[in-house]
Amino acid sequence: MSLESIILAQVFNLDNWAKKPFIDLRGHFPNVIDEWDIEFSDSNPTVCKADLHYSKNCKEGGKYPVLMNIHGGGWIIGDKSNSTTYCLQIADSGFFVMNINYGMPPKDLPALFESVDPLANHDETYLWPYPMVTHFEALKWIEENAEKYNLDLENVFVSGDSAGAHMTACVAACFCSDEYAEALGVERPSFLPKGYVMNCGIYKVDFYNYMPVGRAMMQKFTNMKKPRNHPLYKYLSPTPFINEKANNVLVVNGMIDVMTIFQSKWMVEYLEKAGVPHDFYEGRAFPNSFHDFMLLSRTKESKKCMKYTADWLNAKVLEK
């Protein structure tokens, strides 16, 4: 195992450990109903689990708009619980939120600060593009359970942070491009998402691959010493496949997020050229505008960002 991989794992585990006191606001949303660890696919019940959050009162018309959320963690660690408070805040604004887990590469390093993701979510068979297959199984679950939960399939959104934002962009690319969806082996539902929220994501993977730590992530994610040799490597960068079918995109980043700030600005530039309706929110408070700042729910900048995000989502619901 490379030195970069060892450093990477420790950084991510330390990050999860340090953020925990600032993330968890469970119990602060009495109007939100929670269903924990529901199985959304029998293809892999151990991995395909999600938490559901929705307000006690339906939106006007009796149907909930929907947000499916994909957690981050550099494609190699992480758990849906890291995004719980993010999802609770969106649910409190009137959305039905499905916060999903997915399979990741083997967790083969003893961590100084252990991450919360279960070992069962890690396996040598859960390499790229397997996570994308489970994301679309979750979307299929939404379609199949729309009547049970009064879900509005005309107002389904997808969000994610960090690696989850990258995969959110990949979901968008699958809906935009038949070639992309076929290459990744996903089965699309009958509905087209209304929009996407991409928080602090990586979109030009080839550029990221020049960085030692970024390359270490790619090596684990693809299980290849030279990720560029992966047969689906060109599909790791979803941006060229995104078009007007993406409908609406909100790109979020922090002013001092050195990991992804240029990636987000590149995405905004691409969306502009592709004619995709989009908005950009940049957290600007110092020092609370670093990577994934929106997840630190007790901070002022996170609260501002979450209000903006919830307002953006609800405004898009009203658009026809």
CA distance 178 to 158: 19
pLDDT bucket at 173, cuts 50 / 70 / 90: very high
Residue, of 109 and 117, whose pLDDT is higher: 117
In whole angstroms, what is the distance from residue 132 CA to residue 165 CA?
12
Q: Place 298 in a pLDDT band, splitting at 50, 70 and 90.
A: confident
Residue-averaged pLDDT of the chain: 90
Please report the pLDDT score of residue 220 as a whole number: 85
Q: Would strands 64-70 and 96-100 be described as parallel, antiparallel, or unpaired?
A: parallel
Dihedral sign for Cα atoms in the order 151, 73, 174, 132: negative
Amino acid in the structure at residue 109 = L
Region of poorest pLDDT, from 19-33, 94-108, 134-148: 19-33
Unique residue bearing structure tokens 């979450």 = 306
- Report the DSSP pairing between strands 278-283 and 64-70: unpaired
Is residue 171 within 8 Å of residue 158, measured between CB atoms?
yes
CATH architecture of 3-318: 3-Layer(aba) Sandwich (3.40)
The pLDDT score that the predictor gives to residue 113 is 46
Percent pLDDT > 90 in the chain is 68
**pLDDT, tens digit, for every residue of 86-100?**
999 999 999 999 999
Residue 111 has pLDDT above 70, yes or no: no
Whole-number Å distance between alpha carbons of 40 and 16: 26
Report domain extents, the chain. Answer: 3-318
Per DSSP bridges, beta strands 49-55 and 96-100 are antiparallel
CA pair distance 165, 150, nearest whole angstrom = 27
State how far the Cα of 8 lies from the Cα of 6, in Å rounded to an integer. 5
pLDDT > 70 fraction of the chain, expressed in percent and rounded: 88
Q: Report pLDDT for 218.
A: 85
pLDDT of 311 > 80? The answer is yes
pTM of the entire structure? 0.94
Q: What is the pLDDT of residue 7?
A: 64
Residue pLDDT, tens place only, 70-85: 999 889 888 999 899 9
Is the pLDDT at 114 greater than 80? The verdict is no
